[in-house]
Every structure is written in C-alpha cells, then in structure tokens.
Amino acid sequence: MKELIRFGERFFDELEIAIYRTRGVSASIELNEISMASVKSRAITIIRGINEKRLGLAIIDSEEPERIKEAIETAAKMARLNSRDGKWDSLPEPGKYREPLKPNKELKEASPDQLVEMVIRGIKLAREKDPNAVVAGGEGGVIWEEKHIVNSRGVDVFQEGGMAYIFFELVGRKGGVVTPGIFDFDARRDLNLDVEGVVERVVRKVDWAYDVKASKNEEIPIILGPWAIAGLLSYALFPAFSGERLVKETTPLAGKVGEAVASEVLTIYDDPFHKLSIEPVIADGEGVPTRKNILIEKGTFKGFVWDNYWAKVYGTESTGNGKRDLRSGGINIGFHNVVIENGKKSFEDMIGEIKHGYFVDGFQGAHSSNPDNGNFAVTANPAYLIEDGEVVGSSVFLIAGNIYELLKQASEVSKEVTVMPFMTAVTTPFIRFEDVKIAGK
C-alpha cells in the first residue's frame, strides 16, 4: 500500500486508498419456503485524491496493484477536469485508536447451509405455533467485512469483523382477517441468533392482530417498538445531528447545545463499542478514531457529529462519524451504532400499566419526514390496542407531529433492547410516550 500511495503522490498533493473486502452469506424466505441461498464476496478499492484542491474519486472492484494504479490515473484525470473546492482543507492525520475487539472468525467462514437450517427452523417453528400464519418473507444472513484505509498523511488502519442477522415477516389469515406483514428481528456479532425468541415475538404479535379494532381521534399513551423507533428517528431526528447540516443551516438543533430537546428519560449516543454493537469499528470511513458521542443526555442536546471535511470547514474536529458510501465512494456524516439507553421496567409491565392506549410496532411513511424541522406524518401499522393493561386487538391510525415535541412526551424506557440492523444500526428499548394525538383511520 505504501508503494501505491507513493505512486499516487506523483499526481496528487494528498490521497487516500480505501479497500473494502466483504463476504455476505444469506438465505431468503418467500411464502414458507427458502427462495434463495447466496454467497457473495467482493473487494472494492476507492481512491480519493486531491490536487490543488481539485478532487478525483475512482472506484474499482479489485485490489490488484495494477488496477489500483489505473484507478489513481483515472482519479487524477478527473481532478484535472474538476474545479477547485475552496473549502477543502486536508485529509485526516492518524489518531489514537482503541484496541480492536477480537473478531469472531466463525462469521468469516459462515456457510449458506448454516443459514438455510436456521431459517427453516424458524419457518417450521412459526407454522407450528400458528398454523394460520404464512411466513411471507424474511432472511438470515452473515456479513463479514475487512477494511483497510491508508492515506498519504500516515493513516494506516486495518479492521475486520462480522455480524449476523435474522428477521421473519408473518401474515396471519383467520376468519376473514388478513393481518398486515408483521416483523421481528435479531442481530449480533455471533451466530447464536435468537430464532426462537424472534419467532415467539412475531407469533404473539400476529395473534394480537387477528382481532381488528377501530381507531378514533384521541390523545392517549403509546408505546413505540424498536422497528417504529428506528424508522422514525432515522428520518426525522438523526440527520439533524449532522455537522454538515449545522454549516448549511438545515438543522433545527443549531444553537441548542445544552438545551433540553427531549424528556429526561431519553439518553441517546453513538457508540461503536457498545456491547451489543454490530459494527465495533475503531476508525471511521476515512481513518479517524471512533468514540462514544453523546447526542442527547437525559433530554439535553450535547452536540453535533462530524466527518473530516465538514469539521475542518466549521473549524472543529471530526468526531469519527465519516461513513463511507460504497456506491458513490464518498464520505457522509453518519452513525456506527446509535444506542437509546434502556431502563428497568419490563415491556410486559409497561403494557400492564396502560389503561387505554396503543403499542405501535411499525410506521409507514417515515421516510418522508422532514429533518429540517422534525415534522413527520406516519401511519401506525401494525398498532395494538391496550385496554386495562392487556393487548386486545390491532388497529391502524395516523400520527402527524414533530419529533421534538414527541421526544418531550417520552415517559419510560423498557429493560429489553432490540438491535435493528438496517439503515442506521439502532439499539433501542421500547419507549412510552404520553398524550400522543392520533387520528383514527
């Protein structure tokens, strides 16, 4: 790699070479059957070179030195044709990295047969527990990743690791009722996925969904589940923590460091080294050391997160939140493992304490939330009606609101946490919110 950096310095003031090797193994479900088993591996090299503040960026799916040299030349040609970016400062310097976690090598060698067996076990179990349910979809998979990031300022970080995930989607049919697709998930850094737990949870929710109840306009307590929370916050809240948005004046959190933006029961941080993290990276996508970044502590907003470019534009330091987009090759500000701190009360007890309210498992339409102001309008589906401390059926309703108002209505977080492996990885408890206005549908 050193030699390739030297080669690149003929063309660039500074450059970065990032190599990503990934191996993904998966088994997918369609209508009670395994529809596909797959093994895919690839190596991608991304060259980012800067010459007189002109950027060149090339991507190839190879790690052969000759091909990397060609890619450097392509990036150099591109940089010559591009205009100067006056805001460019420099690539990151090396930092002080934590000791990496010992990677679990069984994930590196995972076979599709292991996943096929695990998924079949889940399908059988689900159909035994509920003969009226169809396992409409789902997937078990293992992803192994090796990342090597080197730049001409001395950064040279290699990391490797893996994660496994599983999810099932059930649709129940009973007495004329067809439930919506109902999901549950597990994700972790070893192969001991909790298939039984996932199936138990999803079957219980399907059972609740057979009894369809009308919803009406009212203000009631609701408990949001992990899937609903991850979906809503990923679109309505998390982008607002981006330093790029602070610079571009598109975050409602500007000027609010130290202010209460949520209820005191909420503490949210990004921590790749959290014990349940599925991405325990010691360095981000451009080689900056990662750390625990507190976003909200007991309701108080603690600060923004940054990548190298926007931190230098703003005159601060990268918080290690430069995430590499392997499609575009670029670096975007993002999170490694968002954790919403859990509490002491069980989910059961939280339901038991609600006289009249809902447990919302999923939201539709969260992607059209507006992170510039936190406004959202979503359909709660599936949502489960709670009466006198028990779930008595399922319903659908609308919530239109503002995420910062909602966060202030939070009153309790559960003991149980779920790791949501998609989009932004989020580890979250169930959260209860008071006096939420819903519109019946």
Element (H, E) at 382: strand 375-387
Give the gyration radius of the chain's Cα atoms: 23
Q: State which residue, 29 or 220, has the beta carbon closest to its own copies.
A: 29
Instruction: Count CA within 13 A, CB hemisphere, residue 388.
Output: 1
Q: What angle, rounded to 10 degrees, do the helices at 112-129 and 195-209 form?
A: 40
What minimum distance in Å lies between the beta carbon of 57 and its own copies?
5
Q: How far is the CB of 77 from its own copies (least distance, A)?
A: 6
Closest by CA position to 378, among listed 296, 299, 441, 428:
441
Residue 209: how many CB atoms within 10 A of its CB?
27
Instruction: Provide the 10 A C-beta neighbour count for residue 356.
Output: 12
Nearer to its own copies, 28 or 424 (CB): 28
Euclidean distance between CA atoms 154 and 89, whole angstroms:
16
CB 355, min distance to its own copies, A? 38
Are 135 and 32 within 8 A, CB to CB?
yes
Q: Rounded CA gap, 218 and 194, in Å?
A: 37
CB of 330 to its own copies, least distance (A): 7
275/327 with CB nearer its own copies: 327
- For its own copies, the binding residues (CB under 8 A) are 27-28, 32-42, 55-62, 67, 71, 74-75, 77-78, 81-83, 111-113, 116-117, 120, 328-330
Q: What's the closest the beta carbon of residue 331 comes to its own copies, in angstroms?
A: 12
Q: How do beta strands 356-360 and 218-224 pair?
A: parallel
Rounded to the nearest whole angstrom, what is the least distance from the CB of residue 407 to its own copies in the complex?
30
For 253, what's the count of Cα atoms within 13 Å in the CB-facing half-sphere? Answer: 29
Nearer to its own copies, 28 or 290 (CB): 28
CB of 136 to its own copies, least distance (A): 15
Q: Which two tokens stand for residue 389?
A: 């401390």
**Nearer to its own copies by C-beta: 60 or 294?**
60
Q: Give the Cβ contact number of residue 61 at 10 Å.
A: 11
Number of other CB atoms surrounding residue 158 within 10 Å:
14
Look up tokens 């589940």; give the residue.
225
CB of 144 to its own copies, least distance (A): 14
Q: Which is nearer to its own copies, 242 or 394 (CB)?
A: 242
Contact 205, 184 (CB under 8 A): yes
Give 205 or 323: the residue with its C-beta nearer to its own copies: 323
* Token code pair at residue 31: 């209508």
DSSP state of 217: S
Cβ proximity to its own copies: between 114 and 342 the closer is 114
CB of 29 to its own copies, least distance (A): 10
Nearer CB in complex with its own copies: 11/269: 11
